[in-house]
């Protein structure tokens, strides 16, 4: 564990080009931002999935006179803030426990498409959006974690605005409307840039009306990981953040609940 903590510190220092001679002072003075939504009975899942459940096993004073609490939960892999392993849409690709921890951390960039996406619930993030970002901030760094800010996180507690419908079950699928990543742009990312993962603040990397999930297929077949329902992207700068995205380590899993955070240096 000490070796892992030291490795994370070294990664933070190296990836963000810090010059402070004391890495610990960087961590003490920086800011951590939680990019994870709470899991509860209101957590948004795909309309055909079982919702999250959290039931009490025991809560109160035990027969021996001390306080004790314990709960049980059940959930599908893909709901709330979660992590897609490459095997989700890539046959023979890594499942959750096979994804190396190094692929779960890295320099983060945020591409803000909220102005366009909030005017069009079916907006697809394009290659031109990435090229425009690069014209301002430089080429997407190697092994970057690319986060797409659509602005839809503000509707997390309003399902009709967040996913397009309050219905559940198969009848809800045709009514899904939320932004995603254009398959052509996904193809550009994997062929023209060397990235580690893609995440966004909507329920799926494919937009709500997708029927072939081509963006998932492209990214997963190339071994990339995906983060969905990411929170608080409005608080993360376009450049300069370091991302740690550690999923629940489910053996053989195609996805898992995710605790994702961003570290931002004060210097």
Those residues whose C-beta lies under 8 Å from the C-beta of residue 178, and which sit 6 or more positions away, are: 121, 150, 152, 162, 163, 164, 202, 203, 204, 207, 208
14-41 pLDDT, tens per residue? 555 545 457 788 878 889 999 999 999 9
pLDDT in tens, 180-218: 999 999 999 999 999 999 999 999 999 999 999 999 999
The predicted-structure confidence for 99-147, as pLDDT tens digits, reads as follows 999 999 999 999 999 999 999 999 999 999 999 999 999 999 999 999 9
Tell me the pTM: 0.90
Domains of the chain: residue spans and CATH: 2-264 (3.50.30.50)
Contacts of 60 (CB under 8 A, 6+ apart): 67, 68, 69
Mean pLDDT of 241-252: 98
């Amino acid at each position: 564990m000490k070796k892992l903590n030291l490795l994370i510190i070294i990664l933070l220092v190296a990836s963000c080009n810090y010059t402070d001679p004391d890495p610990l002072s960087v961590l003490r003075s920086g800011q951590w931002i939680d990019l994870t939504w709470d899991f509860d009975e209101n957590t948004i899942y795909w309309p055909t999935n079982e919702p999250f459940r959290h039931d009490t096993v025991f809560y109160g004073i035990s027969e021996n006179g001390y306080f004790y609490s314990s709960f049980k939960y059940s959930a599908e892999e893909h709901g709330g803030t979660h992590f897609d392993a490459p095997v989700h849409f890539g046959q023979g690709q890594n499942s959750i426990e096979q994804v190396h921890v190094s692929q779960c951390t890295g320099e983060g960039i945020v591409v803000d498409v909220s102005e366009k996406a909030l005017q069009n619930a079916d907006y697809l993030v394009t290659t031109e959006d990435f090229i425009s970002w690069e014209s301002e901030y430089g080429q997407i760094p190697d092994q970057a974690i690319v986060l797409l800010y659509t602005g839809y996180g503000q509707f997390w507690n309003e399902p009709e605005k967040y996913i397009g419908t309050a219905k559940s079950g198969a009848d809800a699928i045709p009514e899904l409307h939320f932004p995603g990543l254009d398959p052509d742009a996904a193809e550009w990312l994997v062929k023209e840039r060397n990235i580690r993962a893609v995440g966004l603040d909507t329920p799926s990397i494919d937009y709500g009306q997708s029927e072939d999930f081509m963006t998932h297929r492209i990214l997963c077949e190339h071994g990339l990981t995906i983060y969905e329902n990411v929170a608080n992207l409005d608080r993360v700068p376009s450049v300069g953040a370091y991302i740690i995205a550690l999923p629940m380590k489910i053996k053989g899993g195609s996805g898992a609940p995710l605790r994702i955070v961003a570290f931002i240096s004060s210097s």
